[in-house]
Amino acid sequence: MKRLQAASLITAIKTPYDSNGDICLTTYDALIEQQIAAGVDGIIVGGTTGEGQLLSWEEHIILIAHCVHRFSDKLIIVGNTGSNNTREAIKATENGFAVGMDASLQINPYYGRTSLAGVAEHFQRVLAIGPAFIYNVPGRTGQDLTPEIIEPLAKHKNFIGVKECAGNERIAHYEQQGIPCWSGNDDECFVGKHKFGSHGVISVASNIVPGLMRQLMDSDVPQVNERLQSLMKWLFCEPNPIAINTALMMTGAVKPNFRLPYKALTQTQREEGATLLRATAQQDLVGDTVEVLSDSDFNYCA
């Protein structure tokens, strides 16, 4: 638990595909190796950024097992095994721990929302299985996990902390009570860490600029934070992970293959992104180049 709570930079790692829309493990490993080289503490496997919502549970567990086998000596491996279906979340979480993950990421039931009592019981059931981060992202679930839900859960022995997207004031409230929090918003994470006392960030941007995100967590570098704000804003110009996928394709880090329903950013959006990426030193980017690409370069698989 101490090792898990000491992790200040965790990357919600991108899942890359081949031209058939199947997971490309060779590219996946190359992405993770660059995260390790930049000093990232851990990865979320099959999170929103890793398109867990587009993966079968078989693919999900295979990816977790693969990461454990290849990288568990260098990284904390967190499997996104949450679901809006408690039975499904329990089974996936049991399987994730069976293949060796260090912790799970758990979300409150979305779409088919339940009562606060139901949310609390859902989390109690998955926390009983092993260490877990609780993920609060009201913009995706339609339900805010308020302190009245989180504070009782924080007493559970397997509660690691909260990935919190409700802002730094909420993070400060929890941290003052000794409840560990990681920012779920890249643009707020520097201030969250150095002013509001967060434990760190679970990051999308670190897919493309892991070394710079490492600096934000480790050092008082407001000039770096300011320089990254425009890039971070662009990375969320469409629902995540559309922009980070497009960015990694533009830098040549992954092949330009999407699983639908995600599609590349528009030409205009890509041109804006190319300007921002080129303003970043090449050695700070994941990938070897920056190209706008044409619409015909992208391949879409169902």
Give the C-alpha separation, 60 to 73, whole Å: 20
9 membership: H or E segment, kind and range: strand 9-12
Establish how many alpha carbons lie within 13 A of residue 113's alpha carbon, considering only the half-sphere containing its beta carbon: 10
Query: Which residue numbers are catalytic?
Result: 135, 163
Give the C-alpha separation, 40 to 217, whole Å: 10
Q: Which of helix, strand or coil describes residue 50?
A: coil
Give one DSSP letter per residue of 65-121, joined into a string.
HHHHHHHTTTSEEEEE---SSHHHHHHHHHHHHHTT-SEEEEE---SS---HHHHHH
Number of helices (H) and strands (E) in the chain: give both, helices first: 13, 10
Q: Which amino acid is at 28?
A: Y
User: Which phi and psi (to 5°) does residue 181 adopt?
Assistant: -135, 145
Q: Which of helix, strand or coil describes residue 184?
A: coil
